[in-house]
Structure 1
Amino acid sequence: MKILVNTGPAHPLYFPVVGLAWALRAAGHEVLVAAPENWDAVVRGSGLPMAAVSGSIEMRDVMGKDRAGNPLKFPESHDQMGGMTGAGFARLAEKTLDGTVDLVASWKPDLVVAESYSFATAAIAAKVNGVPWVKHTVGPGDLPIVSALNAELAPELARFGLDRLPEADLVIDNTPPLLGDSIAGAQPMRYVPYGEPGLLPEWVLRPRTKPRLLVTLGSVQPQAGGLPVLVQLLKALGTLEAELVVAVADFLVPQMGQLPDSVVAAGWQSLTSVLSGCDAVVHHGGPGTMMTCLTHGLPQVVIPGMGKPLSAIGRLAEFGAIRRIEPRDLTPELLLESTGALLADESYGERAREVRDQIAQLPSPADLVPVLEKLVAK
């Protein structure tokens, strides 16, 4: 088979679909990734070929500006976030649609696979060319974006003779049962983390005499108050009997100033490379970060911003695998108390490992290959 994998130019969108792409390649199928041209280095790093369906696109531009380039007001509620996100992905589709339609027509894939946010391009391109397409979820708690997508994309849909986005021929759901209700009719699949390959940091394999805590509030720009708040939080956590590793973009490390001796300012890190050397994680609630930590069986302190999978985070907190702090309540003292409790109470780790074991029981990406082969054969 020939499979076209469509993705937007963002790590949280692309990384969750790499495992299935690898499984298809390992089974002897031909896989090609379709993305804006500035995503080439990331795709090549994952060991897959890519065809550019547009020029360079930055997600902050399509999300934060309207079609005319005017800045948009940041939403004030979770529901508004869904509408703004859907409209943003529609603007991404508008820029990539013609290139993807042409690519499907010329390369002639047997199947198109798209992740569950920038899927509009794949849905239209597959429908126009008479090719089945599969929607691959990227983690728990997708935002409600379809209505906004259909509204913003109305001119493009009409141009191709459509009044709404075509439904997927199959939905792959990689959310474990504990984190959310199963999507009706969906094919379950295990979440397999992927991170960009690189040199394993020395500290990962270093024997430790006290717990090691990874702190990341966003790898590009720290959320929950920005870099000054992160530095305050680290200084508070520095009083714990623990080794702290803070993962931020490399260019931010020199801006952090003097940190406690127990803090390692590690720069940008691939979570799949470093989590085996950690005992707990403090993070901002991104679904990829949360799911990767869960597959390693790690307890977490989660500070979820708007647009994060709040329902799944709430279920994890009720189950006892994480501690949750609302951003409006975040103080150095509260974070210190919550993290100290996480490290002191072994039940958090036990519950996190139960979630890990539940994830491991789901079908692997390799198990999905025959399912997709049968879908194409029909």
Structure 2
Amino acid sequence: MQRIVRVFVSAMLATIALAHVSMKSPCVRYTPFCDSCPELPPGQSMDNNINAPIGTHESILQPLCKYTTPYAKPAARWNAGSTVSVEFNPHAAVHGGGHAEFSLSYDMGKTFVVIHRELRYCFTGGPSSSNTGTQLSYAIPLPADLPSGDRVIFAWTWVNAIGNREFYMNCADVAISGKDGGSFTGPQMLVANYGPDTPLIPEFNGNYETGIDLYNSRPMVTVTGSSYTNASAPVAAPPQGAGSGGAYGAGSPSTPLPPTPVATIPLSSAPSVPYSATPTTAATGYGGGIPPPAYPTHVLSSVPATGGGYMASAAPVPHYVSAGPARYRARIAAKYKATGCMH
């Protein structure tokens, strides 16, 4: 009987780890949900919580991109001007949709420029209180004037419509064949609900214009592409406040973006490093030496709506509670001991 309970507990924890959303293709760093990923960098391991957010409005749980050490080889090779398919893990809890951006970085994650946006209804296609996604793949057009880069980061970021105020981000290492020595200008990627120094985008509560003003007022940034023959330490932007990165974003802004809706737009950044080079690890900061904080496992505290969805509340109400895996094992074990299933 104890073996049955242990198996059940393991299955429960696996289900917990599969909550929320992650990008499946192109293969993101350290995902267990893709069979065609490059070999893991030395000392790294698969992330069974790859679907989890990297932060909430209250705290930063992981650095931008989740992981700052890239794969040694690109997970995908793209041509500027083409349309690429982006797919998401079907084990997803989409929290009623929300705002998503797709961005590129040519400088190892210090600057991200937006090339495409799916605002309001990402994963749902329209207003929804469901936790089940109806659209888990997108065709993303790559601007024709993108610069070439053999070490480019393709990033997906998302602010959920319903539930805890969270910020999600996955990054894939890609190579882009475009304009050699070119540059690209577009809106700076928005970082929100990622620690108290970033803007709070509250629960939508049926209003899908919530937070749209922040996206429409992003400053513009310019990225340039070039190939390096030397290795470079992977560096991710630190939590963004009112510093040189501008108002809550990743990168250095130039001219302000007019407050008009933007659907599909270009990117920006600085030099890239060839995948043949072996990246080193920065001594401090998010780029290396200091491991990212452990992400607390999330479980449902209640089921607020039928059909697996979440009902919008009059005020933001957390639908999830956080705790470490050991606590959850103890809770589940206690539950089944109480029911006489565990001796």
TM normalised by structure 1 equals: 0.27
**Which structure ranks higher in relative contact order (CA pairs < 8 Å, sequence separation ≥ 6)?**
2
Calculate the TM-score normalised by the size of structure 2: 0.29
Structure with more of its chain in strand, by fraction: 2
